[in-house]
Amino acid sequence: MSVTAYPTTPPILEPAADGSETQLLEISMGPQHPSTHGVFRMNVVLDGERVVKLKPVFGYLHRNHEKIAENETYLGSMPYTDRLDYICSITNNWAYALAVEKLAGIQVPERAEYLRVITGELTRLQNHASLIGFLLQDMGSSGTPLMYAFRERENILDLFEALTGSRMMCNYMRFGGCRVDTPAGWLEQAQKVVTEFPRFLDEYENLLVGNEILMERTQGIGVLSPELAIDSAISGPMARASGVNYDIRKVDNYSIYSRFSFRVPLGSHGDVYDRYMIRFLEMRESVKILNEAMRDIPAGPIVDPKMRIRGFRPKPGEAYGRIESPKGELGFYLISDGSTNPYRYRVRPPSLINLTVLEDLCLGVNVADVVAILGSIDIVLGEVDR
């Protein structure tokens, strides 16, 4: 595959037809703009309506996560990982637990693996549901699609609350398993939510997928070529929408994903519409995984019985644990020096790395489309700034 150079200089603009002088306008979108998903700021240079330059500015939500984690015990960082990508705290827990388990060579019992898959895929459902809601909200369909999406997300958050005690800051995983077993009737309740979920997807597809206005707004906008996606380490649904077949659930086969039959949906254009549609297809695949996992879940312990909660000291070494989080490749890199806290702790945040191509996607589009492109990248500022 030949890699073509991508234009980074703004296109040269022709003078106005009547010969009048025009001027570039630099505006600051954010950090308090309602559709920048939190405290994200873009310095956009405009020629009329068209974007000629865009500089993302992050760091308004920086809270020194990595340095705090280096001064905490291994377990003490677990609740902080909830606060990275606060929409999907369970997958953050999972990636961190996986890194520590690799570092210390801990085995996870069978039932805990199933519980991880079930909660992880439920996280993917609610993340994608809220993402498409927010994307449509950003594009101006005020309220209705977002409320429909949040109605479904609510059911899944209720499940999380019944299981983990918290709706968003779940703090569910532990090294070598999960924190608590399912309460009585939880799996039946979860099965009911999952069984009803495809109905929501059908409804949502009826609502907006064939909508001509939506297609006008999204098709051919913000095209990400597969070459650029690979070169800039884009992962997750965003890479797959550009046709890059890369899903860590298939590539790494971590946990027990090799036991489930699911497909990896791929887009062909890499525009906003593909990134929007790929979330629907992924949710349908997640429902398949969930049905199989809830059918097969065995009884047994949920945490390695040898594992003590206090005084955990992995031997010196390093490990990188990564999972396919709803936003992309979420990895934790840890170096242990044999003490109770990591010597180095590094997060590979999918949101931040997917956001690095924002300028390339936005050059030459109208300023209203910048919001749609940003919405389709799926960022959470808690993870971007850390």
Contact footprint for another protein (CB under 8 A): 72-73, 75-80, 82-83, 103-106, 144, 148, 151, 154, 161-166, 169, 171, 175, 179-180, 183, 203, 206-215, 306-315, 317
360: Cβ contacts below 8 Å, ≥ 6 apart: 6, 8, 224, 228
Take residue 24 and report the two structure tokens written for it: 């570039």
CB of 104 or CB of 365, closer to another protein: 104
What are the phi and psi torsion angles at 94 (to 5°)?
A: -65, -45
Helices (H), 36-88: 65-70, 78-82
Take residue 104 and report the two structure tokens written for it: 């210390």
Q: Are 62 and 40 in contact (CB under 8 A)?
A: no
Classified as helix, coil or strand, 363 is coil
Classified as helix, coil or strand, 124 is helix
- Is 38 exposed, middle or buried, given 0-12, 13-18 or 19+ CB atoms closer than 10 A? middle
CB of 104 or CB of 287, closer to another protein: 104
Helices 186-204, 144-164: crossing angle, 10 deg rounding: 170
Whole-angstrom Cα distance, residue 200 to residue 192?
13
Whole-angstrom Cα distance, residue 364 to residue 367?
9
Instruction: State the minimum distance, in angstroms, from the CB of residue 94 to another protein.
Output: 16
CB of 45 or CB of 162, closer to another protein: 162
Whole-angstrom Cα distance, residue 286 to residue 125?
7
Instruction: State the minimum distance, in angstroms, from the CB of residue 206 to another protein.
Output: 5
CB of 106 or CB of 117, closer to another protein: 106
Instruction: State the minimum distance, in angstroms, from the CB of residue 270 to another protein.
Output: 22
CB of 15 or CB of 311, closer to another protein: 311
Instruction: State the minimum distance, in angstroms, from the CB of residue 89 to another protein.
Output: 11
Instruction: State the minimum distance, in angstroms, from the CB of residue 167 to another protein.
Output: 9
CB of 209 or CB of 233, closer to another protein: 209
Instruction: State the minimum distance, in angstroms, from the CB of residue 230 to another protein.
Output: 33
Instruction: State the minimum distance, in angstroms, from the CB of residue 53 to another protein.
Output: 35
Whole-angstrom Cα distance, residue 117 to residue 288?
12
Q: What is the dihedral of CA 345, 81, 92, 181, to 10 degrees?
A: 120
CB of 147 or CB of 251, closer to another protein: 147
CB of 3 or CB of 180, closer to another protein: 180
Instruction: State the minimum distance, in angstroms, from the CB of residue 124 to another protein.
Output: 22
Instruction: State the minimum distance, in angstroms, from the CB of residue 169 to another protein.
Output: 7
* Cβ-based neighbour number of residue 106 at 10 Å: 19
CB of 45 or CB of 207, closer to another protein: 207
Q: How far is CA 150 from CA 97, 154, 287, in A?
A: 29, 6, 18
